[in-house]
Homo-oligomer: A and B are copies of this chain.
């Protein structure tokens, strides 16, 4: 948990708790595995061209869900089609920086 989220938890506990609860509810999917949901989150962060969020999602997925390079690249290919080359290129850069 980043230190900003720590501060949010102290300053605005109800907002923090509700957002955390939403996370828990969503990631307890009915049929998709948490790993599959994490890969979707990577794709959505990449599709929004949000570098910080893409890195956070990839780190989390690699560390806790055994997501590997090929799985991420199979998802980023969809980002290339759906969101264009700059979004794809940015996410590929994040991926390679994490693998080094």
A interface residues, Cβ below 8 angstroms from B: 2, 4-5, 7-8, 11-12, 14-15, 18-19, 21-23, 25-27, 29-32, 36-37, 39-41, 43-45, 47-50, 52-53, 68-71, 73-75, 77-90, 92-93, 96
Given A40-B43, A40-B75, A75-B32, verify A19-B85 contact (CB < 8 Å). Answer: yes
Question: Is there an interface contact between A48 and B80, defined as CB atoms closer than 8 Å?
Answer: no
Main secondary structure on A side of the interface with B: helix
| Distance of A96 Cα from B8 Cα, bound (Å) | 9
Q: Which residues of B contact A43 (CB under 8 A)?
A: 40, 43-44
How far in angstroms is the closest Cβ of chain B from A94?
9
9 residue pairs A–B, Cβ–Cβ below 8 Å: A11-B73, A15-B73, A31-B68, A31-B74, A32-B75, A36-B74, A40-B75, A43-B43, A84-B87
